[in-house]
């Protein structure tokens, strides 16, 4: 049995926030397996599992709030008599750009309170985790992780969740090392509004004559643009 723990906060006000991307990944896996709506509450967590594509999986969403995630994880591991090698933590990470994935087999919590709680409860940091990039905060970190994704991010969020779900399946089948070789290099497609165009092309930078082409015609840049 492979145990996948997605970190997040309970409550509708947190449902679509960046901090809950771990829950979103587990929801995507549950959708794939046909387990949506079949979870049960036990050991301070929402738990669902079974046989899926030749894998025995248990998907766990702690209901203790992020800062006490370790309480639920400890209870689940005790019930399942599972070794640490069979557990994967899926968590958000604002040290990674939005759309990046990173597997690690050990290491510190890196400032993530959910991971810190788990490592403290289990007295061990040698636990595999999949970090899902939510973008660097341009303001207070707490405000950032509890905010919703921006439009350009929302447009690509489903693709990111699919990739993360694929990464979890690869971990369950092949282990952390092999999964990291593939998914640590994953690149989410660029936001349509951020794709750079060459000078002279629509929405590209001004050409040598200082004129920029837009979808509504040609125009000289404003003073603020010229100074950028």
Res 74: pLDDT: 97
Res 206: pLDDT: 64
Q: Is 182 a catalytic residue?
A: no
Res 138: pLDDT: 75
| Cross-strand pairs, 129 | 89, 104
Tell how far CA 17 is from the center of its chain.
11
Report the alpha-carbon distance of residue 30 to residue 26 in Å, rounded: 6
Instruction: Give the predicted TM-score (pTM) of the model.
Output: 0.83
Res 137: pLDDT: 86
- Taking Cα atoms as reference points, which of 129, 1, 6, 7 lies closest to residue 57? 1
Res 184: pLDDT: 97
Which of 19, 81, 144, 182 does the annotation list as catalytic?
19
Res 218: pLDDT: 54
The SS3 of residue 95 is coil
The CATH homologous superfamily to which domain 2-183 belongs is: Peptidyl-tRNA hydrolase (3.40.50.1470)
Res 191: pLDDT: 85
What residues of the chain score a pLDDT lower than 70? Answer: 193-208, 210-228
Q: What is the pLDDT of residues 44-56, one digit of tens each?
A: 999 999 999 999 9
Q: Taking the CA atoms of 144, 148, 150 and 154 in sequence, report the sign of the dihedral they define.
A: positive
Res 18: pLDDT: 96
Which part of the chain has CATH 3.40.50.1470? Answer: 2-183
% of the chain exceeding 70 in pLDDT:
84
Res 90: pLDDT: 98
Structure tokens that stand for 137 in this block: 């905060």
Report the alpha-carbon distance of residue 78 to residue 90 in Å, rounded: 20
């Amino acid at each position: 049995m492979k145990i996948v723990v997605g970190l997040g906060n309970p409550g509708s006000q947190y449902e679509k926030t960046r901090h809950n991307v771990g829950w979103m990944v587990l929801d995507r896996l549950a959708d794939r397996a046909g387990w949506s709506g079949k979870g049960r509450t036990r050991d301070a967590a929402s738990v669902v599992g079974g046989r899926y594509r030749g894998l025995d999986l248990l998907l766990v969403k702690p209901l203790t709030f992020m800062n006490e995630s370790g309480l639920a994880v400890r209870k689940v591991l005790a019930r399942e008599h599972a070794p640490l090698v069979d557990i994967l933590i899926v968590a958000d990470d604002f040290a990674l750009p939005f759309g990046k994935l990173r597997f690690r087999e050990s290491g510190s919590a890196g400032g993530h309170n959910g991971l810190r709680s788990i490592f403290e409860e289990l007295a061990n940091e040698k636990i595999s985790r999949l970090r899902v990039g939510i973008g660097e905060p341009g303001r207070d970190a707490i405000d950032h992780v509890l905010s919703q994704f921006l439009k350009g991010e929302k447009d690509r969020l489903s693709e990111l969740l699919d990739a993360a779900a694929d990464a979890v399946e690869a971990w369950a089948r092949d282990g952390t090392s092999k999964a990291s070789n593939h998914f640590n290099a994953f690149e989410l497609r660029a936001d349509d509004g951020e794709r750079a165009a060459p000078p002279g092309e629509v929405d590209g930078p001004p050409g040598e004559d200082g004129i920029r082409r837009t979808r509504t015609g040609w125009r000289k840049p404003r003073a603020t643009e010229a100074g950028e």
